[in-house]
């Protein structure tokens, strides 16, 4: 046996051990890349692409490029884009396609009979989906209200489908609270959210969606609000309209480091390095780009406690 063969075998074992450790520990492998191309079967990439595409839609940026590997669940981004353009009928048709894909991803009784290991997934998803309400309808309900609430419901179904594929075990994870029992999990709080800008442009619809979904809504906006105020819509609107002012108020935000699907811009923001942030943005880095947890560079900046107030304001303006 050649040394090259031995080395290749050792490398393969190392990779396998790393993947095994990820599933056993509930932790995800780290990657640092600006690219966010579709990868078949990569749930983390799908999650990040959906959040990024919604962020870009709200910011008036072009859609992420897709190809034959694009997950059909990513159709929720184009649905939001059509909604924001005033095309509620087209948005509704796109949501029909997303919902058909969601239904196809829930194991059927026949599939469970053929593979009993799917029983937990089927029960977990079906029991959660049964809790979700129907969107408001009727002559007195505007079409945009119905479609927007459908968007919110689809977000919760899509991220549930993605979590079902990501979690090492479904037992002990409360899908309503998005929290694992016992030990903290890297999946706690993982959910797709409407872009922060909508808190300014569509606040009444956000409030209607939160009212309709109740405790199942979770945090509907990705505005970086303090803990416990994620659905304080007056605050969210202030953040969306004037982030440089609203986000200067001291809070108890969690300090986290970017990991999975992070970018150089996220790392610079987490470090509070204004010069590096400025260089990255000028070089074309996308502030709307989300990582595997749905966080953008702005979220990581706000966890930094060393950057000066004046530089923080400049950085916020670059990253929002």
- Give the pLDDT confidence of 140-156 residue by residue, as tens digits: 999 999 999 999 999 99
Which CATH number is 242-320 given? 1.25.40.20
Residue 49 has pLDDT above 80, yes or no: yes
- Nearest Cα residue to 102 out of 128, 68, 137: 128
The pLDDT score that the predictor gives to residue 204 is 98
User: Worst-scoring range by mean pLDDT, 96-100, 164-168, 256-260?
Assistant: 256-260
The pLDDT score that the predictor gives to residue 252 is 60
Every domain range in the chain assigned CATH 1.25.40.20: 242-320
**Total Cβ atoms within 10 A of residue 174:** 11
The pLDDT score that the predictor gives to residue 29 is 41
The reported pTM is 0.88
φ, ψ of residue 103 to 5 degrees: the values are: -60, -35
Point out which residues pair with 262 in neighbouring strands.
32
User: Worst-scoring range by mean pLDDT, 99-113, 163-177, 183-197, 252-266?
Assistant: 252-266
Please check whether residue 174 is in contact with residue 189, taking contact to mean a CB–CB distance below 8 angstroms.
no
Residue 63 has pLDDT above 70, yes or no: yes
């Amino acid at each position: 046996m050649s040394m090259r063969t031995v080395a290749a075998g050792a490398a393969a074992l190392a990779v396998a051990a790393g993947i095994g450790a990820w599933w056993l520990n509930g932790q995800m492998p780290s990657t640092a890349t600006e690219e966010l191309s579709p990868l078949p079967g990569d749930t983390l990439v799908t999650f990040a692409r959906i959040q990024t595409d919604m962020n870009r839609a709200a910011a008036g940026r072009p859609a992420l490029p897709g190809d034959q590997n694009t997950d059909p669940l990513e159709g929720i981004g184009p649905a939001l884009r059509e909604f924001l353009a005033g095309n509620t009928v087209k948005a509704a048709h796109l949501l029909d396609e997303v919902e058909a894909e969601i239904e196809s991803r829930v194991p059927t009784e026949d599939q469970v009979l053929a593979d009993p290991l799917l029983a937990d997934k089927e029960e977990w998803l079906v029991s959660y989906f049964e809790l979700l309400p129907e969107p408001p309808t009727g002559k007195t309900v505007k079409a945009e209200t119905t479609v927007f609430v459908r968007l919110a419901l689809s977000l919760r179904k899509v991220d549930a489908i993605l979590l079902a594929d990501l979690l090492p075990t479904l037992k002990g994870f409360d899908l309503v609270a998005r929290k694992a029992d016992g030990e903290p999990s890297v999946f706690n709080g993982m959910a797709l959210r409407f872009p922060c800008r909508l808190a300014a442009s569509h606040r009444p619809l956000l409030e209607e969606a939160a009212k309709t979904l109740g405790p199942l809504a979770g945090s509907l906006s990705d505005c970086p609000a303090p803990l416990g105020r994620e659905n304080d819509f007056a605050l969210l609107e202030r953040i969306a309209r004037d982030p440089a002012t609203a986000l200067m108020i001291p809070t108890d935000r969690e300090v986290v480091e970017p990991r999975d699907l992070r970018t150089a811009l996220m790392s610079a923001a987490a470090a509070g390095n204004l010069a590096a942030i400025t260089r990255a943005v000028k070089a074309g880095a996308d502030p709307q780009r989300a990582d595997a947890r749905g966080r953008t560079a702005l979220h990581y900046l706000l966890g930094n406690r060393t950057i000066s107030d004046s530089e923080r304001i400049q950085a916020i303006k670059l990253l929002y």
